[in-house]
Amino acid sequence: MTKVHYCAHPENNTKSAKARGSDLRVHFKNTHETARAIAKMPLKRAQTYLENVMNKKEIIPFRRFNGGVGRKAQAKAFNTTQGRWPVKSCEFILQLLKNAESNAECKGLDSERLVIEHIVVQRAAKMRRRTYRAHGRINPFMCSPCHVEVIISEQPETVSKPAVSSEKAKKSKKTKQVTA
């Protein structure tokens, strides 16, 4: 088996985990829009979002590949008009996220603080079939598979800045005036 190359590298390799799928038999365009919708999301939120999409409670907004896509009221939440519920794409991406999460747990990362740092969908080689038409003609009947890669990383804990007391601030201003 050859070494796989990711199109992006994590900032901190010890605090991130990767997963990828090659030649997945799922539509490229639907998967691209699904991946765009969950990019930069916390991992747990992305998983619940994709499950909600499969139950038609939330929608995937279609922004780039939106020719012929119907208008839906749920898309208003994303400031767009067009959207769909691509169930198969959600299943494949959920499976990849689960794989990446288990890879992160093997590295000892906290699953509650994981965020999808990078997700990309690329076109794979088309697979050929044929369809038979009238008058003895034959047309291609191609499928559009894709490659998907995910990098999730652990976000550092946010530490609030300690409050500076007002007395110290006043003293420092006075000392500056005296020295001048």
Domain-located, residue 8 = no
> Residue 62 corresponds to which tokens in the numbers above?
């279609």
What percent of the chain has pLDDT above 90? 81
d(CA 31, CA 88): 9
Q: What pLDDT sits at residue 72? A: 97
- Find the mean pLDDT for residues 30-41: 98
How do 146-154 and 16-24 pair as beta strands? antiparallel
* C-alpha angle 54-56-61 in degrees, rounded to nearest 5: 90
Q: What are the distances in angstroms from CA 114 to CA 44, 52, 66?
A: 8, 20, 30
CB 99 within 8 A of CB 24: no
Domain-located, residue 122 = yes
Q: What pLDDT sits at residue 161? A: 84
Q: What pLDDT sits at residue 43? A: 97
Domain-located, residue 45 = yes
d(CA 147, CA 39): 16
Domain-located, residue 118 = yes
Long-range pairs, 71-79, Cβ under 8 A, ≥24: 78/37
Q: Which residues, at least 6 apart from 76, have a Cβ–Cβ distance to it below 8 Å?
A: none
Q: What pLDDT sits at residue 49? A: 98
Q: What pLDDT sits at residue 174? A: 59
**Structural domain total, the chain:** 1
pLDDT in tens, 90-115: 999 999 999 999 999 999 999 999 99
CB 114 within 8 A of CB 42: yes
Q: What pLDDT sits at residue 17? A: 96
Q: What pLDDT sits at residue 2? A: 72
CATH number of the domain enclosing 145:
3.90.470.10
Q: What pLDDT sits at residue 60? A: 98
What percent of the chain has pLDDT above 70? 91
pLDDT in tens, 61-77: 999 999 999 999 999 99
How do 60-61 and 83-84 pair as beta strands? antiparallel
Does 169 have pLDDT greater than 60? no
- Residue among 120, 145, 146 at smallest CA distance from 19: 120
Domain-located, residue 79 = yes
pTM of the model: 0.84
* C-alpha angle 112-118-122 in degrees, rounded to nearest 5: 135
Domain-located, residue 85 = yes
Domain that holds residue 132: 13-157
> Residue 143 corresponds to which tokens in the numbers above?
């499928």
Domain-located, residue 177 = no
Lowest mean pLDDT among 9-18, 89-98, 142-151: 9-18
